[in-house]
Amino acid sequence: MADRRVVTVRPEQGSYAWTFGGAAPVARIAPGTVLDLFTEDCFAGRVRSAGDLVSQVCEFPFLNPQTGPFYVEGAEVGDTVAVHFVSVEPARDWAASTTVPLFGALTSTHTTATLQPPLPEVVWMWELDRQRRTCAFETREGGMRIELPMDPMHGTVGVAPANLEVRSALVPDAHGGNMDTPEMRAGTTCYLGVNVEGALLSLGDGHARQGEGETCGVAVECAMNTVVIVELLKGVATPWPRLESDTHIISTGSARPLEDAFRIAQLDMVRWLQRDYGFAELDAYQFLSQAGESPLANVCDTNYTAVAKIRKGWLPPGTPHRGLHDELRSAAVGLRP
């Protein structure tokens, strides 16, 4: 790994980005650069105890701070930026989750608008045991202690959007952003299509773990120390964010209603099977229909995110994204903390 430049960024207060697009780059990096990053939690670190209600301690729209953006040298419209997650490690021994008024899947919201009052605003503090790889909380009523495996991930990874837009870091869409999928964990490569020169990559919103769908709208939110390798695939277009793990290829779609998010991800997977695995269109449709896994990512954000996965062992021979994932997995070995 001697040949990879390492750029370390631990932002100070006031130097986070709150949008995709519209923020000045914090650094210019060459393809192949290793980024050693600190990301703050989605509350900008302001929810630190059960008494810290989002509606009181957070300052809209300064939610979901992003570390970045990074200007990737040579990245042009029509290329793809690859972000390989070498490690994603909670930076503190605690995390927080909460209900947020009129936000989440099991409440009316500002768009699924009803006359009902919001649910109560309740905070749960989670303990993270980084050795045992667990996270735990105590129920607010009944005093049960619940322990779950830690499974750290980033809810938000993205580039500047197309169409001259600037989007809030809370939004998931074709540029990535707040997709909130548990698939975005260490060992995974995320592919993002480039919409503006330099791509303007940023990431944040660490979760010690998250259920599929992120039902209440908020995961086990924590600051992260995260190492990624950033690469560039020239001349490869990626209309919607894709991921690749050692075991699966993964498409995403973000839209409303949820069936459209599903359709986008599934159609993208058909196109992926056609491009990299030699399937004809309807054969790919048939294969996906029988082989696909379809876990939900989030059903709470401004767009919902669905995921389409295929197990690599079930695929015919193919070399997605020029074999970059395997290459980055190897490169990552010496970089883990």
* Angle between the N-to-C axes of helices 258-277 and 281-291, in degrees from 0 to 180, rounded to the nearest 10: 120
Residue 120 interacting with its own copies (CB under 8 A): yes
Residues of this chain, 289-318, that bind its own copies according to CB under 8 A: 289-296, 299, 304, 306, 308, 314, 316
Residue 53 interacting with its own copies (CB under 8 A): no
Non-local (6+) Cβ contacts of 327 within 8 A are: none
Residue 246 interacting with its own copies (CB under 8 A): no
Non-local (6+) Cβ contacts of 42 within 8 A are: 63, 64, 65, 155, 204, 205, 218, 221
CB 309 within 8 A of CB 295: yes
Residue 282 interacting with its own copies (CB under 8 A): yes
Q: Which of 2, 24, 113, 333 binds its own copies (CB under 8 A)?
A: 113
Residues of this chain, 15-34, that bind its own copies according to CB under 8 A: 18-19, 21-22
> What is the DSSP annotation of 264-282?
HHHHHHHHHHHHHH---HH
- Judged by CB, which is closer to its own copies: 3, or 59? 59
Provide the CB-side half-sphere exposure for 31 (13 A, CA): 16
Point out which span in 34-42, 65-73, 143-151, 226-234 binds its own copies (CB under 8 A): 143-151
- How big is the site for its own copies, counted in residues (CB under 8 A)? 91
CB of 59 to its own copies, least distance (A): 12
- Judged by CB, which is closer to its own copies: 157, or 169? 169
Residues of this chain, 252-271, that bind its own copies according to CB under 8 A: 253, 255-260, 262-264, 266-267, 270
Point out which span in 32-40, 67-75, 183-191, 285-293 binds its own copies (CB under 8 A): 285-293
Residue holding tokens 């769908």? 213
Q: How many residues are there in the chain?
A: 337
How far apart CA 27 and CA 32 sit, in angstroms, is 14
Residue 148 interacting with its own copies (CB under 8 A): yes
Per-residue tokens: 327: 């290459």
CB 16 within 8 A of CB 44: yes
